[in-house]
A = this chain, B = another copy of it.
């Protein structure tokens, strides 16, 4: 077995988790040697651990010898709170927005320095976007991100500005003073706008979901082709949807009802 500098500090459980953590959107399928290299673990260890992970269903191995995340892990992950109540409550309102616009409808939550996309609806005619469920995109270059940034407060904004602000298009706001002004304007008017700041050809409008204490802060956004200039026209519907989602989340906090997060569905099934 190869000597590995990091290995003595990591438990076997930690090494198993490290193997799950090396997959990313650009690398959803990996060979055994790539797993070992990316997790910085000896090949023999990886061979043994992948055997365990595959037999449980945390990983699966296809006919070409590539490993990917397994069905049982995906199934367990559908029980995460972020995928549960927030998504369930938001989805019918997102459907309404989709029907009214036929555009990309996004639900994202604030996690660390990112907007984490937890739901996305889109149709055949929606503008192609980089987002997907599970994607992380920056707070300063996306509509939902700016809505979350405007809600996070001055102290968070200061720490956000201490980090590099990656540029995605020539319209991405990377000048710090300008971003501060933009975030203040967003907070004042209550909704965020982007114009080709993440992807050329698309622009977006987003609002925060005005609720406290249901896990991470959330935002709801619509991404449309940038030739459409009537983004402001979408704000009343977007705000009504975000308010309705917040009300539903608050209602479900009644003791004994919110418990578990799947009560709504269980009750639906008993009718």
A205 at the interface (CB under 8 A from B): no
CB distance from A172 to the nearest CB of B (A): 14
Query: CA separation between A77 and B49, bound complex, in Å?
Result: 18
Closest residue of B by beta carbon distance from A112:
B71
Query: CA separation between A16 and B111, bound complex, in Å?
Result: 24
The answer to whether B74 and A69 have CB atoms under 8 Å apart is no
The answer to whether A77 and B79 have CB atoms under 8 Å apart is no
Q: Which residues of B contact A80 (CB under 8 A)?
A: 68-71, 73-74
CB distance from A65 to the nearest CB of B (A): 14
The answer to whether B122 and A52 have CB atoms under 8 Å apart is no
The answer to whether B74 and A128 have CB atoms under 8 Å apart is no
Q: Which residues of B contact A82 (CB under 8 A)?
A: 71, 74
Q: Which residues of B contact A21 (CB under 8 A)?
A: 56, 72, 76
Q: Which residues of A contact B (CB under 8 A)?
A: 11-17, 20-21, 23-29, 49, 52-53, 56, 58, 60, 68-84, 88, 91-92, 95-96, 98-99, 111, 116, 121-124, 126, 128-134, 136, 199-201, 216, 259-262, 265-269, 271
Given A16-B17, A95-B123, A129-B268, 5 further pairs, Cβ under 8 A? A13-B13, A17-B56, A73-B76, A73-B80, A130-B266
